[in-house]
């Protein structure tokens, strides 16, 4: 009996079927993916609309997992409300039953080769002839997807037909239908596609390897197994994503549990419309749709309750990153301005922390005490997390600044807070520059070119020197001394910039660096230098008086004029 069963033909059938599903999903998303995303955003402003949109989009995309992951992204971004997100998710369960109907009505009713092979031929020729047209290519991939879908089904069907002729259904051990529910869950979890596992069940049912009851149990399990993909998509995600993922799990498990307990009633309902003895495949497709519709009807009145329950289970933990402005009332303008200035100094220290982490510098070289953000709590966070934290803190600073402006301010107070907010903008722009060159710096560090390694170390040294100098300037008691040192630091940054360019040109002439590396070096140096300038400017606005700031700006303007004159004379 086993000699009639071609295991590799079955495996090939599963593989071809899955590949067809992927091609279908990719081509449909490419042809109208933006339209589906727009539909999810715009046509989900109510529970019924959300459920309908989820069912329709999933029926077209042929992938509830793709729609579910899309919903996770939109809810996580705040584009879609929690309740409407749940609606789309449960609606997608109805849409995914469309695959079972396609397989049941076409896959076992028609001669597959009569339309699968023409679709494959037209799709393949179209891909070659119209390779320059993206839309036609994606349409041809769509044809290919349908061809592979049914070809895979044919392989699965043919592989078990001879085996089924000699198979005695009574030889299956009676462990209970719950075991087949578990088989359906595992099968779907492994293949990450309920459509593929249901196609296998339909094939086995068509060949009478399994009974209708076992097929029903496995379809219930397959429905539950789709939650694995969504749960994986929530790992490391926001609380909103976790809520949506858990709602999908709750819906599928509860719906599956109710369907399993009410299986005899569902079978009677199916038999009322379809004779399962002569058309069991169609009956199973109807059951798949019926119990998912039942689940939607069951959950529809409780979507709001489920949403609120999940919000309590996964509450938002909004980190308060501000240290000085958090509890400072804006009505006391003098205290609020002092708190705003202290918070921006805090942001500057965070920017320094970010910079040294990007360049892999030991923190204790720059920071003698605990790192910022509540006594070193954020020491373990990644540079990406730290960057996002600084953006949040900058937003909190700007909100506080806007609140101060709504108070009655005299001309001097308004001018002062306007000046110090420039420091915050300069700080956030300085770290954007560092973020922009992070990948290039990493490449310099790991390069086999010694010159690039040396330049990477040079950037690290210049950054440490700048931060230590800024700390010394901050701790100085005399504003006059701070003014002089800030000016010296700025002049030094400009001198290092010019020296770097000169050294890079010399290295290029000596062929120590490639042309592409020269471009990268000059770009990194420009952004690095600009980041250093912005940090000096921020400190200038935080430490100096308005008169000193004006003198500082005039001194820089004068230096620029003198430098331009020197360049002009040298060129002449």
The pLDDT, as a whole number, for residue 108 is 57
**Highest mean predicted confidence (pLDDT) among 100-109, 151-160, 258-267, 548-557:** 258-267
pLDDT over 80 at 32, yes or no: no
| Residue with tokens 């999903």, as numbered in its chain | 25
Q: Which of 342, 338, 340, 365 is nearest to 352 (CA)?
A: 365
Residue 237 region, left (φ>0) first, then alpha (ψ -120 to 50), else beta?
Answer: beta
Residue 111 burial (10 A CB sphere; 0-12, 13-18, 19+): exposed
H helices present in 300-332, as ranges? 303-313
Distance of alpha carbon 566 from alpha carbon 568, whole angstroms: 5
Which residues does 245 contact at the CB level (< 8 Å), separation at least 6? Answer: 72, 227, 230, 231, 233, 234, 237
Segment 449-482, tens digit of pLDDT: 899 999 999 999 999 999 999 989 988 888 889 9
Segment 324-360, tens digit of pLDDT: 887 777 777 788 888 888 889 889 988 998 999 999 8
The pLDDT, as a whole number, for residue 37 is 60
Segment 233-243, tens digit of pLDDT: 666 556 766 77
Residue 241 half-sphere exposure toward CB, CA atoms < 13 A: 16
Apex 114 CA angle, 108 and 119, nearest 5: 105
In a 3-state reduction of DSSP, which class is residue 225? helix
| Lowest-pLDDT choice from 104-113, 203-212, 264-273 | 104-113
Q: Which of 379, 512, 529 is nearest to 463 (CA)?
A: 529
Residue 475 half-sphere exposure toward CB, CA atoms < 13 A: 6
Say if residues 29 and 160 touch (Cβ distance below 8 Å).
no
Segment 75-108, tens digit of pLDDT: 655 567 778 878 888 888 888 788 778 777 766 5
Q: Is the dihedral of CA 274, 275, 276, 279 positive or negative?
A: negative
HEC-encoded secondary structure of 118-166: HHHHHHHHHHHHCCCCHHHHHHHHHHHHHHHHHHHHHHHHHHHHHHHHC
Q: How high is the mean pLDDT of the chain?
A: 79
The pLDDT, as a whole number, for residue 383 is 82
Q: Is the dihedral of CA 249, 254, 255, 261 positive or negative?
A: positive
Segment 488-526, tens digit of pLDDT: 999 999 999 999 999 999 988 888 888 888 889 999 999
| Lowest-pLDDT choice from 67-71, 224-228, 403-407, 434-438 | 67-71
Say if residues 142 and 23 touch (Cβ distance below 8 Å).
yes
Q: For the structural domain made of 333-571, what CATH number should be given?
A: 1.20.58.220
Distance of alpha carbon 233 from alpha carbon 72, whole angstroms: 8
| Lowest-pLDDT choice from 60-64, 263-267, 394-398, 525-529 | 60-64
Segment 187-220, tens digit of pLDDT: 777 766 677 777 778 877 877 778 888 888 888 9
Residue 538 burial (10 A CB sphere; 0-12, 13-18, 19+): buried
Report pTM: 0.52
| Lowest-pLDDT choice from 113-127, 149-163, 549-563 | 149-163
For the chain, domain boundaries: 2-313, 333-571
| Residue 47 DSSP label | H
Q: What percent of the chain has pLDDT over 70?
A: 78
């Amino acid at each position: 009996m086993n000699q009639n069963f071609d295991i590799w033909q079955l495996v090939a059938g599963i593989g071809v079927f899955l590949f067809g599903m992927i091609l279908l999903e990719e081509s449909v998303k490419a042809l109208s993916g933006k339209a589906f995303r727009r539909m999810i955003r715009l046509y989900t402003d109510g529970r019924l609309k959300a459920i309908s949109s989820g069912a329709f989009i999933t029926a077209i995309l042929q992938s509830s997992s793709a729609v579910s992951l899309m919903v996770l992204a939109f809810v996580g971004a705040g584009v879609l409300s929690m309740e409407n997100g749940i609606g789309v998710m449960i609606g997608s369960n109805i849409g995914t039953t469309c695959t079972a109907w396609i397989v049941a009505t076409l896959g076992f009713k028609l001669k597959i080769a009569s339309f699968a092979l023409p679709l494959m031929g037209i799709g393949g020729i179209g891909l070659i002839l119209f390779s320059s047209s993206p839309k036609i290519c994606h349409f041809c991939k769509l044809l290919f997807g349908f061809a592979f879908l049914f070809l895979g089904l044919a392989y699965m069907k043919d592989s078990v037909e001879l085996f089924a002729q000699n198979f005695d259904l009574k030889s299956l051990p009676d462990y209970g239908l719950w075991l087949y529910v578990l088989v359906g869950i595992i099968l779907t979890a492994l293949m990450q596609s309920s459509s593929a596992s249901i196609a296998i069940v339909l094939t086995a049912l068509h060949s009478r390897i399994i009974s209708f009851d076992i097929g029903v149990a496995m379809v219930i399990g397959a429905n539950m197994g789709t939650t694995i993909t969504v749960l994986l998509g929530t790992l490391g995600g926001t609380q909103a994503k976790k809520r949506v993922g858990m709602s999908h799990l709750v819906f599928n498990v509860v719906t599956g549990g109710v369907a399993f307990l009410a299986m005899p009633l569902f079978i009677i309902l199916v038999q009322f419309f379809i004779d399962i003895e002569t058309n069991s495949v169609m009956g199973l497709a109807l059951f798949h749709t019926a119990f998912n519709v039942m689940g939607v009807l069951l959950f529809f009145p409780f979507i709001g309750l489920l949403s609120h329950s999940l919000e309590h289970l996964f509450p938002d933990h909004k980190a308060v990153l501000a240290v000085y402005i958090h509890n400072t009332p804006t009505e006391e303008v003098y205290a609020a301005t002092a708190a705003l200035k202290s918070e921006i100094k805090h942001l500057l220290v965070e920017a320094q922390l970010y910079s040294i982490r990007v360049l892999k510098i030991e923190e204790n070289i720059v920071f003698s005490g605990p790192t910022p953000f509540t006594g070193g709590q954020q020491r373990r966070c990644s540079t990406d997390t730290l960057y996002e934290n600084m953006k949040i803190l900058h937003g909190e600073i700007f909100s506080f600044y806007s609140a101060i402006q709504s108070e009655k301010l005299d001309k001097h107070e308004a001018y002062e807070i306007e000046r110090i907010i420039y420091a915050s903008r300069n700080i956030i722009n300085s770290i954007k520059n560092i973020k922009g060159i992070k990948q290039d710096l990493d490449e310099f560090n790991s390069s086999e070119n010694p010159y690039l390694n040396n330049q990477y170390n040079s950037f690290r040294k210049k950054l440490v020197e700048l931060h230590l100098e800024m700390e010394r300037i901050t701790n100085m008691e005399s504003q006059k001394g701070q003014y002089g040192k800030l000016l010296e630091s700025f002049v030094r940054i400009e001198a290092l910039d010019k020296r770097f360019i000169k050294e890079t040109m010399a290295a290029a002439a000596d062929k120590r660096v490639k042309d592409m590396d020269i471009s990268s070096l000059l770009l990194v140096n420009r952004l690095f230098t600009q980041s250093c300038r912005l940090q000096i400017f921020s400190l200038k606005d935080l430490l100096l008086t308005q008169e000193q700031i004006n003198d500082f700006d005039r001194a820089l303007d004068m230096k620029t004029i003198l430098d331009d004159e020197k360049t002009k004379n040298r060129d002449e």
